[in-house]
A = this chain, B = another copy of it.
């Protein structure tokens, strides 16, 4: 096979992200413990996030607004302003949180950057994603950074046409079957799933069955070998 470009997802593929959302949700549940039980609160928050996605898009700012909305909702408008102030402070903490790289992230990107176009493709708030990339120390390894509002087959086609030779000669690597794998397969490319223990409920999807361009690796350490095997296979 001919491969020219490898796209990497960022959050929970190169560095921890969902873990910070979970910690914040736990604190959210503590703050509202007197008003509602944690499971119910979680369901209402998820419903608010789903409802607001078309307005706010992905990222921390929309998450904070959805937490505030949920806090007002579950308390029937009795939540004190101090709690809302706490929720905003939690959001600012998330936006300032140091980056924790996932195992083998740097080594995998470094190894593949010598032979392929490597591109970071991520959703979320523009400024926050740029901050995280800068802090990760991986910024110089990527030939391009694409922060997009949604990851669809057509978005992948456009990006891989811009950086390389089209989706059919491109691979996307990420933890979300829904955003990183399925739409790339639909666009004609390779999709490599790197499962992460924690995945946001709105990113859940079933793995494709028997798709010859779909692969899974347990962590990024296994990615360079997988790429070697795939590119060799078609040379033999």
Contact = CB atoms under 8 A, between A and B. Distances in A.
Interface in A84-103: 84-85, 88, 91-92, 95-96
Nearest to A73: B85
A164 interface: no
Interface residues of A, number: 34
Contacts of A62: 61
B77 A78 contact: no
Interface stretch (A38-46, A125-133, A218-226): A125-133
Nearest to A148: B126
A110 interface: no
A147 interface: yes
Interface string A124-143: 01111010000000000000
A116 interface: no
A18 interface: no
A15 interface: no
A148 B57 CA distance: 16
Contacts of A55: 92, 95-96, 127
Nearest to A125: B57
A195 to B, nearest CB: 27
A56 interface: yes
Contact of A84 (B56, B68, B96, B147): B68
Interface string A63-86: 011001101100101111110110
A149 interface: yes
A53 to B, nearest CB: 9
Interface of A: 52, 55-57, 61-62, 64-65, 68-69, 71-72, 75, 77-82, 84-85, 88, 91-92, 95-96, 125-128, 130, 147-149
